[in-house]
Structure 1
């Protein structure tokens, strides 16, 4: 059985998962040469936005100056900065180097996926899981499960050939197509724009 027997559109297996995946399962996947582990940080972004909105509402409701904090923001944000560095980019150590973060940069960073025009979310995987759940039989035997998976794999191979031939096209909402084009254009200017302007444009795309 070859790699294409498991996955057709690309030349490798891409697993899009949420951050709480255990290190044990992630290490088992990363040992497979045809598997690339990628985290879906979109849910973290949504959670962060909700927290920011809640904080803004709380600040607007505070009219009494006596309730304002008397500590510098740098001290209050220190715990969050430490958490972010330890989790995503690594904390600074000697000789201006960084420790290995909990989740490697290559796993959560979408820069290379933009260049290769790969999906940035796991929405397609979730849709496939829902379709399998709705079409699968209840309490199937092992042989029935194998037969269902073979049928599904055969349809995936046909769809991959149709996509390569241009017979069918994947449908996306216009706003997501525009966002992908803007992100690809921004990523292509990574080495041309000053860092402050680059990140300002990136924040504007995600409404930060």
Structure 2
């Protein structure tokens, strides 16, 4: 039986000349008579003596069944998915956090025929494909630890203030941190000498920080219609938390920090070019209402004051 099949294949053997070209995936691809192999139920086979791109080889065909033009509706869908893949890999290298919708919507017009539209993948399937392509261009991080004992903590992270030796290089960094806190927020006590000779006296003088404690109280800022610091901090925290899942692992968290760093650097460029951002009208009205309530504050109307604030503010 096997011999009869070999004889039949030999009788059906068709020899032609084909050229090896480069495919869209940068791989050798046989090009012959501008023919396509059918996508479904194809049994066509061919044999060549090499795969050097740019050279011609003798092509020996066996089983020419279904060796004809492609099914166009499938071809449209494959082209759309191929372009989505190329676009995702190119964009994700610079913007790894780009939403899949921005990539998918660019290629919606790629599928035009009604037959292809009826068979095209759902948005959720395309979204999952985009996420798979994005993972292929992410940095190769070490494998995530499966248990706590697999986590190796560097020695410098094991140091504490009580166990820190002043001879270590880390001590200078700790001192710089304390100096920053004192100079910026707390203030410091320094010894100051007055007088000369025997009349020299020393006294401890408190040096004010860059941002005094009065600035920490937002009462005066409300009266002066200045932005409240806690609003900016909470706004950033809420925005950053919105990008994360509830319990992100280490490496996705690092990627989010990198994205946030890039976003902050771009914002600095905008601000350095004197880009002025306007506040939303509803926030301006809210500040005016808060200011009016604060101006009416007194110890006699303590309860009424907080009741009015609770009616205005939405927690």
TM over 0.5: no
Larger proportion of helix: 1
Larger proportion of strand: 2
> Relative CO higher for 1 or 2, CA cutoff 8 Å, sep ≥ 6?
1
TM-score between the two structures when normalised by the length of structure 2: 0.22
Question: Bigger radius of gyration, 1 or 2?
Answer: 2
